[in-house]
Amino acid sequence: MGGKIISRGSCVGKALLSKKPISFLGGVDPDTGTIIDEHSDIRGESIKDKILIFPRGKGSSVGSYVILQIKKNGVAPKGIINEKAEVIVAIGAVIAEIPMLEMRSLEIFDFDGHTNLRFAEEEIKLIKDGEMIKLNATGHQRLSGYIEVLNGNGNGNG
């Protein structure tokens, strides 16, 4: 499942899916990495060591520096995937050295009691909230980033 590289790097972690945009300024506690936005569908969840997947960022440009502070505090996500990479989150990911991909064809939805991620341009490939995935944003070409679903052993299965 391919995407555009915004910030280079590679990571493995559990997917944390939100159907709503995220503001890092006022929406994430920079000391704990917990989502504190009262309107968020993942309020109370920790972003620490997760691969955070959400449609796009929102809010103040100070959000970029909040992402950097979250990284310095050791509570940052391992990676970020957005449908639309807007400048606030993109700059934050770059300065905090958090791998980030933009994947224009993703759709985040609820089904069977779980939040799921589907890629519209591919065969139906679902990623469930909490599933282990690998984000690879190390390619030499901007459009060479990808994510891969991992099985329990950390090996690819899709």
Structure tokens at 127: 């990623």
* Calpha distance 64→113 (Å, rounded): 33
List the CATH code of the domain at 2-149: 3.50.30.10
Tokens of 58: 């929102």
Q: What is the pLDDT of residues 25-44, one digit of tens each?
A: 999 999 999 999 999 999 99
Residues 92-134 have pLDDT tens digits of 999 999 999 998 766 666 666 666 666 555 544 577 788 899 9
- Tell me the C-alpha distance between 142 and 27, whole Å: 29
Mean pLDDT calculated for residue range 7-18 = 95
The pLDDT, as a whole number, for residue 157 is: 47
Coil, strand, or helix at residue 71?
A: helix
Q: Which residues contact 155 (CB under 8 A, 6 or more apart)?
A: none
Active-site amino acid positions? 60
pLDDT surpasses 70 at 10 = yes
E strand or H helix at 20, and its extent? none
